[in-house]
Amino acid sequence: MIYLDYAATTPIRTEALEVYQQVSQHYYGNSSSLHDVGTSSQQLLETCRAELAKLIHGKKEGIYFTSGGSESNYLAIRSLLKGNEKKGKHIITTKTEHSSIYQLCIALEKEGYNVTFLDVDHNGIISIQQLVENISSDTCLVSIHHANSETGIIQPLEAIGKILHEKKILFHSDCVQTFGKLPIDVEKLHLSSLSISAHKIYGPKGVGALYINPAVSWQSLYPGTSHERGLRPGTVNVPGIASFVTAAQLLEKSRETNKEKDRKLRQYFIEQVKKRWLPIVIEAENASCLPTILGLRIVGMEGQHVMLECNRKQIAISTGSACQVGSQAPSRTMIATGKSSDEAREFIRLSFGKDTTMEHIDAVVDAIGDILEEMNG
């Protein structure tokens, strides 16, 4: 099977798996226990916290370990809102956020919050002007992802952060897709909080992290909780965290090399598609995107059909959106960028990783060509 769905999840790398095994065997104590076995686990946990903070240029005290990106998003927004109730009841986000944020904001509307869902242009980028126009004295928090998980489009976080910092508005960003792929500096971006996940960077599943700037107020959703300084309950997964940090450090070392390789893979795919005159639309082709993600549409063909046919040909790709029973739900990102429901249903996503080769690109282009021939019969 040729795997081209790294934006969904990645295989755990050997080094991270080895660390997980070693820590499970030798640092098995509960990090909250006061005996020496627990103290050893606590010391390793704090080392991991410090090392992860370095990778985002943040403070060790701001790192909280979670079960993944979705929980980090939920805890960040809920905890910041609870700790800053006097700031106001207005939230600004985008129409193209990850479902963990989008659905949370819909729930918050029902709880009395006023939520503005910013529009995006045909590439999927927000308008800074529209953001500024929607800021009011009641605006408490803004949540805008670093890069879209379907198209890879990168939002101008630095420009956004500068504006929000000047206006003293809390700023959260879902950085799950960009961590390990783009440089992240929480101070430079003026982020109040960000979320990241291990399984997107060749670490274990069920592990993630939330960064909250220590200078920012927040309040726990779980009164009386002692783990992770009261942020969330549950015994801390020290082996998973050590494995996560190992994977993050290794990816950071090879980040620029990986970026160049992925850029060449992306460009090669586009060249091959154009050479063969395939009826494929590359989303945000000329905009600033993560080179690891290729969002595209095959004109006149439903994405779910293409995904299933590629799977039959032993190639794993994604439709970029969850499939509902009996039909494919149109991509919310595609709808937001101005596509019709039928066009949005054409969407598929290829995403590259450390083991992706030019031969894999050739194989998927050939597969798409064959699927088109079979359709046109």
Backbone angles phi, psi at 120, to 5 degrees: -130, 160
Which DSSP category does 320 fall into? S
Rounded to whole angstroms, the Cα distance separating 112 from 88 reads 11
> 180 with 193: CB under 8 angstroms?
no
Q: How far is CA 295 from CA 23, 71, 149, 177, 324, in A?
A: 38, 26, 9, 14, 20
> 310 with 316: CB under 8 angstroms?
yes
Residue 230 is encoded by which pair of tokens? 């009261």
Q: How far is CA 314 from CA 8, 11, 63, 146, 360, in A?
A: 17, 17, 40, 32, 11
Contacts of 226 (CB under 8 A, 6+ apart): 32
Q: Based on the residue annotation, tell me whether 140 is a catalytic residue of this protein.
A: no
Q: Residue 133: which H helix or E strand, with range?
A: helix 128-134
Rounded to whole angstroms, the Cα distance separating 95 from 72 reads 19
Residue 28 is encoded by which pair of tokens? 């098995």
Tokens 């979320």 belong to 195
Strand residues in the chain grouped as ranges (E)? 2-3, 63-66, 90-94, 114-118, 139-143, 170-174, 193-197, 208-212, 280-282, 293-298, 315-316, 323-324, 327-328, 347-351
> What residues pair up with 328 in beta bridges, in sequence order?
323
Rounded to whole angstroms, the Cα distance separating 287 from 302 reads 24
Considering 48, 140, 310, 323, which one is annotated as catalytic? 323
Q: How far is CA 170 from CA 83, 140, 184, 236, 325, in A?
A: 11, 6, 18, 27, 38
Rounded to whole angstroms, the Cα distance separating 168 from 141 reads 10
Angle, CA of 177, 186 and 223, to the nearest 5° = 85
Catalytic sites, residue numbers: 323
